[in-house]
Amino acid sequence: MPRSPKPPSLATVARAAGVSTASVSLILGGRHRDYGISHITAERVRAAAAAQGYQRATRRRGPPRLHVVHFEDLVRMEERGLGGSVVHPLMDALAERGWLASVETRMPADPSQPGPDVLSASALVVPVNLGYDGAATKLVIAATAGGVQAVVLGRFMPALTAIQVDADQYAGGRLAAEHLLSLGHRHLALVAGVAGDPHSEARCAGFLAACSSKGVEVEQWGPGGYTVAGGHRLVAERLRSGMQPQALFCCSDRMALGALLALREAGIAVPEAVSLMGFDDQGEFVDVMPGITSIRLVAEGVGTRLAALLDPATPPRAERLILPPRLMVRGSTASSQGHP
């Protein structure tokens, strides 16, 4: 009976990279710069480890620890429910099991070479907002090579060994369209987020697909940049050109607020003349007059589910947790009766 091949080790990686096992250990542990090992050598060792599928043992001294990076971005992500609704319950659930937690306010200066705070952790939380996909990918790859389980919040990124959490953006866009269509609206307009952003593209695609299934064409007004100012500027321009739909869907609540201001300035009442919808269900826009109908990404219970998936005794794994959308109806949408 043939013998099973031996798993890769520090020694096999060292031979492939032409360095000592001590150097491999220092490099994969993030301590090589303290010993004068060059960046080129570190990259060669990481490439050899990746080629062999080598992963450092996840056993670490002392209690297991959760490390959260880019906390400033995580705070901004609270508008999408990924702060208090996910990370705080995750920390609480892990604390009950004896885990410690640490926080880093920003992304590491060189995400491909994280320091001991990352590589000595048992699990790593990486929030990913627009524009940080590349840095997050480098950090997750480096952490995984060091045996750290990465948890990515806010994006599904391909080819990463990580637990990734994001919402069904496409279903959220469909849900928005279905609500407006159910009110009898047939003259609809759409404000996208940012060109090339996967969330914006998925929300728009879901919205357009639901409308197309009912034979309803949609005026695509372009991107508003996910900002109040961008939404205001774009909608004001379209209104000045003579466009006035029965209903307007903006791919974020911030742009919806800007649209609301533009409609008011043009003397167009919401929802009496135009129904208006946003996306994200940001708490700060619930109390505007009228309250903005929106799509909430339901994150309740996800922190506890994540905690159950984290085990410091097992190697990093890949899994996706998908947040479902929920319609939150408020005063900015109404029946099409009386609309132009």
Task: Render pLDDT for 144-174 as a digit per residue (tens, 0 to 9).
Answer: 999 999 999 988 988 899 999 999 999 999 9
Q: What total number of domains does the chain contain?
A: 3
Summarised one tens digit per residue, pLDDT across range 277-321 is 999 998 777 788 999 999 999 988 999 999 999 999 899 999 999
pLDDT at 329 over 90: yes
Please state at what angle helix 39-52 crosses helix 133-145, rounded to 10 degrees. 70
Beta strands in the chain (DSSP E): 65-68, 100-103, 123-127, 149-153, 162-167, 188-192, 218-223, 247-250, 275-277, 294-297, 319-323, 325-328
Lowest mean pLDDT among 81-90, 201-210, 232-241, 266-275: 81-90
For residues 232 and 185, membership in a common domain is answered with yes
pTM, two decimal places: 0.79
How deeply is 195 buried, as exposed, middle or buried, from its count of CB atoms within 10 A (0-12, 13-18, 19+)?
exposed
Phi, psi of 311 (to 5 degrees): -135, 110
For residues 242 and 218, membership in a common domain is answered with yes
Residue 62 lies in a domain: no
For residues 150 and 83, membership in a common domain is answered with yes
What is the per-residue pLDDT for 323?
93
What is the per-residue pLDDT for 81?
52
Angle (CA) 273 328 339, round 5°: 15
Instruction: Provide the domain limits for residue 280.
Output: 169-297
Phi, psi of 77 (to 5 degrees): -80, -5
Give the 3-state secondary structure of residue 262: helix
Residue 91 lies in a domain: yes
**Taking the CB of residue 36, how many other CB atoms lie within 10 A of it?**
7
Residue 330 lies in a domain: no
Mean pLDDT value across residues 29-45? 78
What is the per-residue pLDDT for 108?
83
pLDDT bucket at 105, cuts 50 / 70 / 90 = confident
Summarised one tens digit per residue, pLDDT across range 182-222 is 999 999 999 999 999 999 999 999 999 999 999 999 999 99
For residues 73 and 28, membership in a common domain is answered with no
Give percent of the chain with pLDDT exceeding 90. Answer: 58
For residues 180 and 91, membership in a common domain is answered with no
Summarised one tens digit per residue, pLDDT across range 111-125 is 998 888 899 999 999
pLDDT bucket at 227, cuts 50 / 70 / 90 = very high
pLDDT bucket at 76, cuts 50 / 70 / 90 = low
Residue 277 lies in a domain: yes
Residue 278 lies in a domain: yes
What is the per-residue pLDDT for 300?
87
**8 A C-beta contact, residue 28 and residue 145:** yes
Mean pLDDT value across residues 45-60? 74
**Nearest Cα residue to 79 out of 130, 114, 44, 113:** 130
What is the per-residue pLDDT for 133?
83
Give the 3-state secondary structure of residue 35: helix
For residues 177 and 292, membership in a common domain is answered with yes
pLDDT at 58 over 50: no
**8 A C-beta contact, residue 271 and residue 339:** no
What is the per-residue pLDDT for 31?
63
For residues 79 and 144, membership in a common domain is answered with yes
For residues 285 and 305, membership in a common domain is answered with no
pLDDT at 4 over 60: no
Average pLDDT, the chain: 88
Residue 339 lies in a domain: no
What is the per-residue pLDDT for 59?
46
**Nearest Cα residue to 326 out of 303, 290, 300:** 300
For residues 239 and 149, membership in a common domain is answered with no
Check which CATH number belongs to the domain holding 201 and give it.
Answer: 3.40.50.2300
State the Cα–Cα distance between residues 267 and 261, nearest whole angstrom.
10
For residues 184 and 216, membership in a common domain is answered with yes
**Nearest Cα residue to 147 out of 125, 127, 120:** 120
Residue 211 lies in a domain: yes
What is the per-residue pLDDT for 340?
58
Lowest mean pLDDT among 45-49, 55-59, 122-126, 242-246: 55-59
Rounded-to-10 torsion of CA 230, 126, 28, 162? -110
pLDDT bucket at 72, cuts 50 / 70 / 90 = low
What is the per-residue pLDDT for 107?
82
pLDDT bucket at 106, cuts 50 / 70 / 90 = confident
Q: Quote the distance between the C-alpha of residue 232 and its chain's center.
A: 25
For residues 309 and 288, membership in a common domain is answered with no
What is the per-residue pLDDT for 79?
46
Residue 158 lies in a domain: yes
For residues 88 and 119, membership in a common domain is answered with yes
**Taking the CB of residue 242, how many other CB atoms lie within 10 A of it?**
6
pLDDT bucket at 86, cuts 50 / 70 / 90 = confident
Q: Given the DSSP bridges, would you call strands 162-167 and 149-153 parallel, antiparallel or unpaired?
A: parallel
